[in-house]
Amino acid sequence: MTESLKVGVAGLGTVGASVVRIVKNKAKQLESRCGRPIEVVAVSARSRSKDRGVDLSSMEWFDDPVALAQAPGIDVFVELVGGDSGSAEDSVRAALNAGKHVVTANKALLAKHAVSLSRLAEEKGVSLNYEAAVAGGIPIVKTMRESLAGNSVSRVYGIMNGTCNYILTRMEREGLSFAECLADAQRLGYAEADPTFDIEGHDTAHKLSLLTSLAFGCEVDSDAIYVEGITSITTDDIRAADELGYRIKLLGVAQRTDTGVEQRVHPTMVPKHSAIARIDGVLNAVAVDADAVGEVVLVGPGAGGDATASSVISDIADIAREDGMPVFGQAATSLEPYTKARMRLHEGGYYIRLAVDDRPGAFATIAKHMAEKNISLQSIVQNRRDPALASDGAVDPDEPQPVILITHETTELAVREALELIAAEKVTFGAPQMLRIEKLD
Amino acid sequence: MTESLKVGVAGLGTVGASVVRIVKNKAKQLESRCGRPIEVVAVSARSRSKDRGVDLSSMEWFDDPVALAQAPGIDVFVELVGGDSGSAEDSVRAALNAGKHVVTANKALLAKHAVSLSRLAEEKGVSLNYEAAVAGGIPIVKTMRESLAGNSVSRVYGIMNGTCNYILTRMEREGLSFAECLADAQRLGYAEADPTFDIEGHDTAHKLSLLTSLAFGCEVDSDAIYVEGITSITTDDIRAADELGYRIKLLGVAQRTDTGVEQRVHPTMVPKHSAIARIDGVLNAVAVDADAVGEVVLVGPGAGGDATASSVISDIADIAREDGMPVFGQAATSLEPYTKARMRLHEGGYYIRLAVDDRPGAFATIAKHMAEKNISLQSIVQNRRDPALASDGAVDPDEPQPVILITHETTELAVREALELIAAEKVTFGAPQMLRIEKLD
């Protein structure tokens, strides 16, 4: 019999416990699929006594994940500790330095240290697999790293944060405010007590940074991503989007342009008929536009213990079969430095919501400044609030009414400049809302 | 430099020409992704003189694909000849016997000969890859063979024939008849001159048979598939489905049951809100329900030269990187014989359309026989035709009107027996329409 692949798992939260349980329960199946047994022989976590619903008695216990990472008895180190530094980083570096293969679900760690870690893995001739780090159970890393080998990618985009998509879906379906939906998401365990990282788009940005490298053969540079969260989205925006034939989704988008690669995370207007518009609730989806295949879209659970464990185990199985892949699909030293396409050069349509003073000439003033910046308008609509709400006293009838502008394709810079000119005219109140419209077939 | 992987391509239709062109144009990228160059060194096709838009001058020409398959200068034989026997089969067997890796897009060949071919490949220690044989550009074979290694699949289903999906989408959107849409599909090149193979469901069945083996670890048995095409679907069915919250799709479904594995291809009522209901036109989609990951859905082009070539090249790249996988994810000799779950034991909801004589008591007679067979009805609706059509003379007002029954979950056998009892009562005209409702979350 071929020798078993010996796995050490650091971090026994929901995902870690699922990995240990599934590797055990599916031992026969995994052996049959990989040609050799896989066993978890050692684990590490904070509390040794906690009941995780899995029998750890046959496994060696390490208090220190770094010690586990270097243990002579393991072939693969699975890092599920989390965090972009500290023991997650230390243990992954220790494992690679010790010539162990590494599997991780840690997007924050890779978003920050992918360049050095991928070079280290390559130097040591070991795998660094991270299917679970992007969109949980969806096999997007394998698809991009392997299935699209003959393709040139022009754009990759997706819904990669279930918390945000849950909130936006509920706002749309039930007409609730952002705050109400966030509170519900927290109550249901879909959002953290401190939800900043999710709702401000940073989690999506981490995942996007890895897809960018896979798509465009450049080094991971998550600091260069333009990031905007969903906290400014109002029910007015959701309703206007619906009326205009769009839905609002928090997308991460990486796109090749003439000046480099755009990386952006922001609430986005997507046409209702598009595949991505139809991804509801906590689901994730990633779409890839590429020259040979056209567009492929992968939909599935972006989180959850078993779903994420499914990806971790897929990564372990690849190692068991000795299917080695460079971390980002090509030699780490051959990845080009990331060339940023500046956000102000971004081209596309825009949705703009302004609170406009209802006096004569206000529309003309707005239209004039748009024209000055060569922005051609597809529509300009005074989207009067539901009078039923006004008569309920929920809306002050004297309050400025929202005016919605939809532009034809223009540049981010032109829109920003026009909005500054309009603000100086004092015909509007408060900050304008500006959402990008993604061009999708 | 590592030695190049030498590829021979038999069959230079749209897909073959795309493979040759992409391998040449993306030579540098493929080398970077696979760690060695890939080159097409030899080709075979019927006509040597035909202009295929690619330069074949540097490639050795073979009139006979079998000779190409055995040529000492090639490492990988790519079979794009087509057909379930003849030179496709002969050349694939010859290549495997000569110890060459094989890549094929030929679902008909595999549906018929997968058992012997996969054993032969295994005996010779070579790969037999077929990503392009199922759903064209969608990486479903890799996903099932590799990404779901730690999962037990309960059901796999999909829209795998663009011709049928195009016809059903047009019927729904434009209220056109099956015949009109088929004629249009033929005119646009989406359907063959003889469309039988597509519209009767056989093409879907071939693809399904391969997914069944990947999902359930059993031998391919395409003869055991229950197959029903879309030719009986009328605009009445399409309209009734819409009113009831469904869409009609030709699905291939393989599902584990208590008595074995169901394999069925038939027009299916799918809830409008489901992911699969939203796949329009010539697009394909495959969904996998599995215990760890939950559900993943892959959407993309099911046909087309470049999209299919993308999958062929992915298969070649795996071979270049020496990522060998057993043909159906585990040793061919360890696959269990297929155990058929009989169609009459199929459980689910049913849509039944009857042309009912408009006399008193007809409804009662129908309801009585349904009750006798323990079929509980969710609804029974006389779906009167549009009176505008009737007054146009397009519909005879004296013609029997369609009555639509929707059953709660029952068995195929009960429905068939009830329909026989009803037919014997002579309160209905013509053959009843019976469509299965797929249970989707």
SS3 string, chain B, reads: CCCCEEEEEECCCHHHHHHHHHHHHCHHHHHHHHCCCEEEEEEECCCCCCCCCCCCCCCEEECCHHHHHHCCCCCEEEECCCCCCHHHHHHHHHHHHCCCEEEECCHHHHHHHHHHHHHHHHHHCCCEECHHHCCCCCCHHHHHHHHCCCCCEEEEEEECCHHHHHHHHHHHHHCCCHHHHHHHHHHCCCCCCCCHHHHCCHHHHHHHHHHHHHHHCECCCHHHCEECCCCCCCHHHHHHHHHHCEEEEEEEEEEEECCEEEEEEEEEEEECCCCHHHCCCCEEEEEEEECCCEEEEEEEECCCHHHHHHHHHHHHHHHHCCCCCCCCCCCHHHCECCCECCHHHCEEEEEEEEEECCCCCHHHHHHHHHHHCCCCEEEEEECCCCHHHHHCCCCCCCCCEEEEEEECCEEHHHHHHHHHHHHHCCCEEEEEEEEEECCCC
Q: Which tops the pLDDT comparison, B438 or B441?
A: B438
> Mean pLDDT over residues B335-353, rounded?
97
Distance CA A88, CA A78 (A): 10
Biggest CA pair distance of chain B:
86
> Mean pLDDT over residues A313-318, rounded?
98
pLDDT tens per residue across span A234-268 = 999 999 999 999 999 999 999 999 999 999 999 99
The overall average pLDDT reported for chain A is 94
Query: A4 touching B, CB under 8 A?
Result: no
Catalytic member of A207, A368, A373, A439: A207
Instruction: Look at A149 and B317 and tell me if their CB atoms are within 8 Å.
Output: yes
Task: Please tell me which residue of chain B has the smallest CA distance to A34.
Answer: B330
Tokens of residue B256, six digits: 């584990």
pLDDT of residue A1: 57
Instruction: Name the CATH architecture for the domain at A344-437.
Output: 2-Layer Sandwich (3.30)
Instruction: Look at B137 and A317 and tell me if their CB atoms are within 8 Å.
Output: no
Q: Domain A142-301 class?
A: alpha beta
Query: A150 touching B, CB under 8 A?
Result: yes
Q: What pairs with residue B433 in β-bridges?
A: B353
pLDDT higher than 60, residue A395 = no
Catalytic member of B207, B272, B368, B373: B207
Identify all chain A residues contacting B321, using CB atoms and an 8 Å cutoff.
Answer: 323-325
Distance CA A195, CA A208 (A): 19
Query: If we measure between CA atoms, which residue out of B404, B151, B143, B185 comes closest to residue B282?
Result: B185
pLDDT of residue B358: 77
Domain ranges of chain A: 5-133, 142-301, 344-437
Kindly give the interhelix angle for A305-320 and A14-25, rounded to the nearest 10 degrees. 50
Mind telling me how many Å the CA of B420 is from chain A's nearest CA? 41
Q: Which tops the pLDDT comparison, A1 or B321?
A: B321
Query: If we measure between CA atoms, which residue out of A234, A263, A242, A283 comes closest to residue A136?
Result: A283
pLDDT of residue A367: 93
Query: B93 touching A, CB under 8 A?
Result: no
pLDDT higher than 90, residue B301 = yes
pLDDT tens per residue across span A316-355 = 999 999 998 999 999 999 999 999 999 999 999 999 999 9
Query: If we measure between CA atoms, which residue out of B140, B12, B6, B172 comes closest to residue B75?
Result: B6
Question: ipTM, 2 decimals?
Answer: 0.94
> Mean pLDDT over residues A140-164, rounded?
98
Tokens of residue A382, six digits: 């005074």
pLDDT of residue A400: 78
Task: Please tell me which residue of chain B has the smallest CA distance to A22.
Answer: B150
pLDDT of residue A362: 86
Q: Domain B140-301 class?
A: alpha beta
Q: List all residues 6 or more positions away from B280 whose beta carbon is below 8 Å from its beta carbon.
A: B165, B169
pLDDT tens per residue across span B214-233 = 999 999 999 999 999 999 99
pLDDT of residue A358: 77
Q: Quick count: other Cβ atoms within 10 Å of Cβ A236? A: 16
pLDDT tens per residue across span A16-44 = 999 999 999 999 999 999 999 999 999 99
> Mean pLDDT over residues A276-288, rounded?
95
Decide if A197 contacts A179 (C-beta within 8 A): no
Mind telling me how many Å the CA of B396 is from chain A's nearest CA? 37
pLDDT tens per residue across span A362-373 = 889 999 999 999
Instruction: Name the CATH architecture for the domain at A5-133.
Output: 3-Layer(aba) Sandwich (3.40)
pLDDT of residue B24: 97
* Closest Cβ opposite residue B30 in set A150, A307, A326: A150
Tell me which of B76, B143, B144, B147 to substitute to probe the interface with A (most A C-beta atoms closer than 10 Å): B147
Query: What percent of chain B clears pLDDT 90, i.e. is strictly above it?
Result: 90
Task: Please classify residue A235 by burial: count the beta carbons closer than 10 Å to its beta carbon, then call 0-12 exposed, 13-18 middle and 19+ buried.
Answer: middle
Decide if A202 contacts A268 (C-beta within 8 A): no
* Closest Cβ opposite residue A300 in set B142, B293, B323: B293
> Mean pLDDT over residues A83-95, rounded?
97
pLDDT of residue B401: 79
Amino acid, res. A274: S
B14 is in an annotated binding site: yes
pLDDT of residue B135: 97
> Mean pLDDT over residues A418-423, rounded?
96
A294 is in an annotated binding site: no
Instruction: Name the CATH architecture for the domain at B345-437.
Output: 2-Layer Sandwich (3.30)
pLDDT of residue B390: 46
> Mean pLDDT over residues B86-104, rounded?
98
Query: B298 touching A, CB under 8 A?
Result: yes
Instruction: Look at A314 and B147 and tell me if their CB atoms are within 8 Å.
Output: yes
pLDDT higher than 80, residue B441 = no
Catalytic, B6? Answer no
Query: What percent of chain B clears pLDDT 70, i.e. is strictly above it?
Result: 96
Distance CA B352, CA B369 (A): 14
Q: How confident is the model at residue A390 (pLDDT cuts 50, 70, 90)?
A: very low
pLDDT of residue A382: 78
pLDDT of residue B1: 57
Q: Which tops the pLDDT comparison, B383 or A3?
A: A3
Tell me which of A2, A289, A310 to substitute to probe the interface with B (most B C-beta atoms closer than 10 Å): A310
Instruction: Look at A299 and B301 and tell me if their CB atoms are within 8 Å.
Output: no
Query: B305 touching A, CB under 8 A?
Result: no
